[in-house]
Amino acid sequence: DLLRLFERALRRAHLPVAMSQGYNPRPRIRLLVPLSVGIVGRNEVLDFELDEWVRPQEAKHRLAAQLPEGIVLRSLRSIPAKPDGRVSELSYRVRLLRGHSLTQRSLDELLAAEEIVVHRRRDGEAKRLNIAPFLRDVRLNEEELLMLVGASEQGTARPEEVLEALGCKPGKDYQKGAIERTHVSLPSSL
């Protein structure tokens, strides 16, 4: 949905977006790390390619004018062609319910674990993944849980998986729609 929103906004802004080749050409735009359904994005990264040079400030002004209320374009910059699209870290915030079961001890134990195995299904096939290497930091901040997870070609830890590993239950410890991705960090080379 967010990609379609930006496709329309780029078209209305009259920016010369590059198109893919082939039978069904599509605009060359992508979210570097798509959001899961039900997770709010506060600082996402959108990558799009233009056929012609447009000054970043002009492109930002034209695109921002076409975005609906609630979608804010914080910055726009030009990067080298064909970036690898890697993300280095993702930050999340989860608003906790009163009476949640999290303790500092449970967070410390999670961070010290060498293996936290989760099972994912893709194309009908179960896959086993150790998410422990992706956990950078997990901390309590009053009634919020803050997470910093690494991302690599091997994947990343999903916030729901971290919550499950902590023994948190939706509806008891947090509301299902209370997960927010607060930041997407790109490698410093971009």
Q: Tally Cβ neighbours within 10 Å of residue 22.
A: 7
pLDDT for 179 equals 94
Q: What is the pLDDT of residues 12-29, one digit of tens each?
A: 999 999 999 889 988 999
Greatest alpha-carbon span in the chain: 56
pLDDT for 63 equals 96
Place of tokens 């990343």: 156
176's tokens: 């299902």
Listed as ranges, residues in the chain with pLDDT below 50 are none
**How deeply is 104 buried, as exposed, middle or buried, from its count of CB atoms within 10 A (0-12, 13-18, 19+)?**
exposed
